[in-house]
Structure 1
Amino acid sequence: MKNHQKMEQLNALENEIKELRKTLMEKERDFEKLRKELFINQTEITAGLQSKETESMVKCGQLPKWAIERYSRQILLRDIGVSGQARICQARVLIVGAGGLGCPAAVYLAAAGVGEIGIIDYDVVEITNIHRQILHYEYDENTSKAESAAATLRSINSRIKVTSYNVQLDSKNALEIAKHYDVILDCTDNVPTRYLLSDLSCLTKLPLISGSALKMEGQLTIYGYRSDTHTLQKGSTYRGPCYRCVFPSPPAPDAVGSCSAHGVAGPVPGLIGTLQAMEAIKCILDVSPRKLLVERMFIFDAEDMTAKTVQLRKRNSMCAACSDSPTITHLVDYEAYCRAPANDKELDLHILPKCNRISAPEVSQLLKEKVDPYIVDVRADAEYQMCHIVGANNWPIERLNGENLDRLMKVVEDKEIVVFICRRGNDSQLAAKMVLDMLATDERHKVRDVIGGLHAWASDVDNTFPIY
């Protein structure tokens, strides 16, 4: 009873802390707003007094005093200088995705003084995001990612314009949003949006800086580059490949991984996102294409700390999107084209008949009744070690073949009820189907799959079970 009371007290304090953090965030935003207004007024007053009372003996060229002081360390670089910083301050960059890639990219672009940053994200901040999505804080949980990121960027640099788009980018709104920008950063992690952004890049003639990160690996390249000012090096009609040139057809939906399913080491998207910002700045500065990741892909492997740059396919002169006579002249339904959702949420598979599905509460009831079902947890070893139902047996689906599958079949044949489970109820269905396909017809009734997986167990049976 005492432990129960302590748990209630702990939950109450946790909720109170969340409310206090929200209040603190609101106060900080009010403070920043007032500070900015006061700073601008003081600047105007000081400038007026100087113009009336004294004649300045300093010539600051294209940049005002505050910009020289703020950005001096990068202005000192020969490749940037005063004219380069002026270009950066006038540039407009659209970042699609306020996650592991978009956050570090946005931080460095804002800090560099990019005049306007647009940031698109339809999702809300979750506690699982914070280990890599560095613009969000604990008190931002359940708030819009786009708005959370924008608020942090404004606190980093009050001199720039930040526009948040709390929407899911699609074929209906993409052109209207993109027309206000000069460069696009693809910081997403799903194939439909990559095709959408590539086609958008071709239609708007904007360079697309595309990054990806999964597990311990990251990749980066530039699609849709057009060389208008470096004719001596690449030719007056030179254009880099688009995403379709390199990947003419989308992969099968189940062949594409995601951070939520396979995990990611936080510094990996941090590195790739930072390099996306660097390539964006180089594009803004009109750096020669031979110094950009055009027709080249940067690949980083954190496991052994190696990096390499590989050559990509050249632009396909017959490409449906970027050729001189494209057949793709408008944005299409990319979810239908890729047969996958345009978000990073896991698929909700329905491949087993109802007679082979079971709810989490029903499994709990079987355990209470001492029916003793054989529970097959098909998650990877690392996931099983994080948390699992007491008594569950770990048979990772990635190794469920050959002798391992034969051994499982022998176990299944000896059991009265066999229950398959995974995190969300997708992999477990695939594993259960392998077994069902090998069982005799009169034995198939014993196999069950938990609908919704361990997430359903956590919400419907035991709320102390971690959701990840």
Structure 2
Amino acid sequence: MDIVCKLEKEILEIRKKLVCKEQELLEVKEKMGTAQINSKNGCDLDKRNSLKVQFGDSIPKWAIERYSRQILLPDIGVRGQENLMRGKVLIVGAGGLGCPAAVYLAGAGVGEIGIVDYDTVDITNIHRQFLHTEKEANTSKAESAANSLRSINSRIKVTAYKIQLDSSNALEIASNYDAILDCSDNVPTRYMLSDVAVIAKIPLISGSALKMEGQLTIYGYRGQGPDDEPGPCYRCVFPRPPPPEAVGSCSANGVAGPVPGAIGALQALEAIKLLVGHARDKLLVGRMLIFDGEDMSFRTVKLRPRNVQCPSCSENPTITKLVDYEIFCSAQANDKDLNLDILPPENRITVTELAGKLTGDVSEKRHLLVDVRSAPEFNMCKIDGAVNYPIDDLRKDKMDALLTEIRKCTSQVTFICRRGNDSQIAAKRVLDVIEDKHKNKIKDLTGGLHAWSKYIDHDFPVY
């Protein structure tokens, strides 16, 4: 296996060098000029120049050939293609939304694309994030996406930002671009990008996807002329952040790959329309597109109008600089594993301790394993003997049934989830209502099933 990893790493390095050399070759050719004539044709450069062939207003031959299918559209044309080739778009997130958006922007010939992503490629990403391959596992998402885009279109500039965008760097980076695509997956980043868009006067094309649903709109639109009515910002529509527990994520709730694919592609289309110069009524300003993959329906709903007293985008804003958005939203600005610590040590147990107890317990019924993941997760994989009580269902009847089982248990009760966070929350709910005599047998599995896979059963899947 070591030699395989070594060879894969060497191949990846060679590919990166090849991309750099191709870009270098392209720059040299452009400096030399593209009008070199093969001597076999019996025509020299002077004769070629005497023909005075005109390639559009300022579009070179290669661009006409490459982008002709979209230049043919009256909505784009030569002037629109010129705008695209001069355009600069920042994509925040090289994931399920960012990958398809980036592909279509690169294909359309957008002159410069910036890609921001702090994360590395994981095998769970690839079912929807198709700029990455298996060989890029554990490498930078931003670099992986940038290299793929350069292989798609060597004529454009692609900049990879291998950082987490935050209040200290967002404005400086975003100010170099004409439009921002919010392809993130968390609320703090959405508020931050909205404020960035307003302060820097850059339109924000915001997409989201979860399970079988997707949404798309444009925030912070300021129009092309004095009579072009401004659109709302994110704060106009959502003045207050939602409770953290009410916000889902792809890692926790799942997503069908084509859903972010569709929304990401439409984000690219809106960016192209913006750069080309489409009017407000042709853009998703003040409107939100909602896609339901279950019944394959699209509908557009009207958003709240711009709030004339908005703290961010009004004529007299109170938010004139970026703040700490994790504090404002009481949530993380990334999808890294949380490490909740809400139970005392006496109510927690390590995977090693649990494995020892299960091995030494001759009666499985004596030790109660309560798995609080969703039913689909539980059906994917579970520890033998566990029972499923999804945390989202722990209300009156289900909670009463669980409390009854716990009271009957003569040994230990261990709460389990994927990472050791939801299990703590569920255990805390039980500890708050159950009688004192039962509290000492209630435990939470520290690190959850991820730790179980790492330290006990290496064949147990991590997702």
Question: 242, 246, 249: which is aligned to 1:251?
Answer: 242
Partner of 2:420: 425
Offset of residue 248 of structure 1:
0.3
Contact 1:377–1:421, Cα closer than 8 Å, also in 2: yes
SS of residue paired to 2:361? coil
- Structure 2: gaps spanning 5 or more residues: 38-43
Partner of 1:165: 161
Partner of 1:266: 257
Instruction: For 1:45 and 1:160, locate their aligned partners in 2 and report how far apart those are by CA, in whole Å.
Output: 17
Instruction: For 1:185 and 1:214, locate their aligned partners in 2 and report how far apart those are by CA, in whole Å.
Output: 17
Partner of 1:358: 349
- After TM superposition, the structure 1 stretch with the greater mean CA deviation from structure 2, 18-27 or 390-399, is 18-27
- In structure 1, give the amino acid aligned to 2:9: K
Question: 15, 32, 51: which is aligned to 2:19?
Answer: 32
Instruction: For 1:294 and 1:69, locate their aligned partners in 2 and report how far apart those are by CA, in whole Å.
Output: 33
Partner of 1:384: 378
Contact 2:80–2:277, Cα closer than 8 Å, also in 1: no
Distance of aligned partners of 1:328 and 1:39 in 2 relative to their CA distance in 1, 3 Å threshold: closer
For 1:134-149, list aligned pairs within 5 A.
134-149=130-145
Instruction: For 2:23 and 2:342, locate their aligned partners in 1 and report how far apart those are by CA, in whole Å.
Output: 56
SS of residue paired to 1:270? helix
- Quick check: 1:20 aligned with 2:20? no
SS of residue paired to 2:91? strand
Question: 180, 183, 187: which is aligned to 1:184?
Answer: 180
- Quick check: 1:277 aligned with 2:268? yes
Aligned length: 450
Distance of aligned partners of 1:39 and 1:205 in 2 relative to their CA distance in 1, 3 Å threshold: closer
Partner of 2:221: 225
Contact 1:95–1:186, Cα closer than 8 Å, also in 2: yes
Partner of 2:299: 308
Deviations 1:27-66 (A, max 9, x none): 2333333344445545626525564453234211210000
SS of residue paired to 2:343? coil
Deviations 1:171-207 (A, max 9, x none): 1111110111000000001111111000000100000
Instruction: For 2:117 and 2:268, locate their aligned partners in 1 and report how far apart those are by CA, in whole Å.
Output: 18
SS of residue paired to 2:440? helix
Partner of 1:7: none
For 1:13-412, list aligned pairs within 5 A.
15-42=2-29, 44=32, 46-47=34-35, 51-55=45-49, 56-61=51-56, 62-229=58-225, 235-236=227-228, 238-370=229-361, 372=364, 373-412=367-406
SS of residue paired to 2:35? helix
- Structure 1: gaps spanning 5 or more residues: 1-11
Contact 1:261–1:346, Cα closer than 8 Å, also in 2: no
Contact 2:381–2:461, Cα closer than 8 Å, also in 1: yes
- After TM superposition, the structure 1 stretch with the greater mean CA deviation from structure 2, 77-86 or 458-467, is 458-467
- In structure 2, give the amino acid aligned to 1:33: C
Partner of 2:444: 449
Contact 1:317–1:323, Cα closer than 8 Å, also in 2: yes
Contact 1:18–1:139, Cα closer than 8 Å, also in 2: no
% same residue: 59
Contact 1:212–1:220, Cα closer than 8 Å, also in 2: yes
Instruction: For 1:271 and 1:168, locate their aligned partners in 2 and report how far apart those are by CA, in whole Å.
Output: 25
Instruction: For 2:99 and 2:277, locate their aligned partners in 1 and report how far apart those are by CA, in whole Å.
Output: 24
SS of residue paired to 1:119? strand
Offset of residue 113 of structure 1:
0.2
Instruction: For 1:26 and 1:395, locate their aligned partners in 2 and report how far apart those are by CA, in whole Å.
Output: 48
Partner of 2:40: none
- After TM superposition, the structure 1 stretch with the greater mean CA deviation from structure 2, 199-208 or 47-56, is 47-56
Partner of 1:3: none
- In structure 2, give the amino acid aligned to 1:376: V
SS of residue paired to 1:47? coil
Offset of residue 22 of structure 1:
2.7
- After TM superposition, the structure 1 stretch with the greater mean CA deviation from structure 2, 266-275 or 37-46, is 37-46
- In structure 2, give the amino acid aligned to 1:195: Y
SS of residue paired to 2:118? coil
Instruction: For 1:42 and 1:177, locate their aligned partners in 2 and report how far apart those are by CA, in whole Å.
Output: 30
- In structure 2, give the amino acid aligned to 1:390: D
Instruction: For 2:389 and 2:413, locate their aligned partners in 1 and report how far apart those are by CA, in whole Å.
Output: 13
Deviations 1:317-376 (A, max 9, x none): 000000000000111111111111111224322222221111111100101211642101
Normalising by structure 1, what TM-score?
Answer: 0.93
Instruction: For 2:14 and 2:258, locate their aligned partners in 1 and report how far apart those are by CA, in whole Å.
Output: 31
Offset of residue 107 of structure 1:
0.4
SS of residue paired to 1:210? strand
Instruction: For 2:403 and 2:34, locate their aligned partners in 1 and report how far apart those are by CA, in whole Å.
Output: 82
- In structure 2, give the amino acid aligned to 1:363: L
Contact 1:316–1:323, Cα closer than 8 Å, also in 2: yes
Distance of aligned partners of 1:423 and 1:39 in 2 relative to their CA distance in 1, 3 Å threshold: same
Distance of aligned partners of 1:380 and 1:165 in 2 relative to their CA distance in 1, 3 Å threshold: same
Distance of aligned partners of 1:29 and 1:441 in 2 relative to their CA distance in 1, 3 Å threshold: same
- In structure 2, give the amino acid aligned to 1:263: G
Partner of 1:6: none
Offset of residue 20 of structure 1:
2.7
Offset of residue 72 of structure 1:
0.3
Distance of aligned partners of 1:136 and 1:203 in 2 relative to their CA distance in 1, 3 Å threshold: same
SS of residue paired to 1:342? coil
Offset of residue 403 of structure 1:
1.9
SS of residue paired to 1:350? coil
Offset of residue 23 of structure 1:
2.3
Instruction: For 2:45 and 2:310, locate their aligned partners in 1 and report how far apart those are by CA, in whole Å.
Output: 58
Runs of 4+ in 1 over 6 A off after TM superposition: none
Contact 2:348–2:443, Cα closer than 8 Å, also in 1: yes
Normalising by structure 2, what TM-score?
Answer: 0.94
Question: 434, 437, 440: which is aligned to 2:432?
Answer: 437
- After TM superposition, the structure 1 stretch with the greater mean CA deviation from structure 2, 37-46 or 245-254, is 37-46
Offset of residue 25 of structure 1:
2.5
